[in-house]
Chains A and B, each alone.
Chain A
Amino acid sequence: MHDNVIDRSKDITLLEMLDRVLTKGVILTGDIVISVADIDLVYLGVKLMLSSVETMEQIKSGKIIKE
């Protein structure tokens, strides 16, 4: 019976997973930077943003999920 509520569809799970891993969690810096202060942090914000946009486009076109 639980299966009726916990949706195990690949598409929804994938979408939820990508949303979390790309936009949530601990942030090591708020900005797109190559180096922060003295800790030599490399954060690939631009590439991530591109990836998120790609995901959004797929959602819009219905390739990932149609609501």
Chain B
Amino acid sequence: MIWFIIKRLMQTVPVIIGVTIVVFVIMQLVPGDPAVLLAGEGATKETIEALREQLGLHQPLYVQYFDYVSNLLRGDMGFSLKNNQPVLQEIMTRLPITLELAIFSTLITIVLGMLAGIISAIRPYSILDTVVMVVALLGISLPSFWFGLMLMYSFSVKLHIFPVAGWDSMLHVVLPAFTLGAGGAAIVARMTRSSMLEVIRQDYIRTARAKGVKERVIIYKHALRNALIPVITVVGLQFGALLGGTVLVESIFAINGLGRMIVDAIRMRDLPVVQGGVLVASLVFVVVNLIVDILYRLFNKRIELN
């Protein structure tokens, strides 16, 4: 197992290098000269030229990339064009908010999704199953910006249960996390259901019944653990999709998270911030994938043999 983790960790190194290259290249492809942007309107040719020199834009691309990476390793992501603050600092204040949102959403995705899936699977084709699956289908289909606004309208504006926007207390977390997690929960519910139905037909479930095990214990002890193996992968993938979703949800609920930061930066053409934001988001995704793989392995030891 330790070897597996080490091996898997080593595999992430080229992925991370790849991410930095992609982020770097994309920024090169963005139209417009960073020096012109930085100098601002009405700057003289000399000022721009001097800035180019200072930023090292005359250097060949590979040297620029090398500089970029070595700066990254020192924790230097450059400075925001907007307010001259270090990008890293900005990210560090924003990232925890987004992570918190993402983690709560994932919890909702897992708990709600699996519960719904299991309920459906216990009595397949029953009325309860049909209702749960129709709701799940809606959950997948509803666009999150509309769903978020509806939640906000009902629970904040009308019922005054939750605050409308912002990010101060636990109460603030509920609506955004639910908005973000609902789609994933729906997917997980459908996945859990079909996986459970598949597992329940297996020979070892029949063996458990032949032992006199109660139906409830069969579900939780014998079926669920085997059924969850494919679900874990889906949850991991959902987490990636979630990071993208934060952009929308943070905008709707006016949360100062990483997603909103990137959107604002793009609008302001604040390239260093965009670059840094995208890089960090990608790294988070890589790390989550790593964790999912390790979990998958823990749940399914048979992989070791094949």
- Are A and B co-members of a single complex? no
Chain A residues in the interface with B (C-beta under 8 A)? none
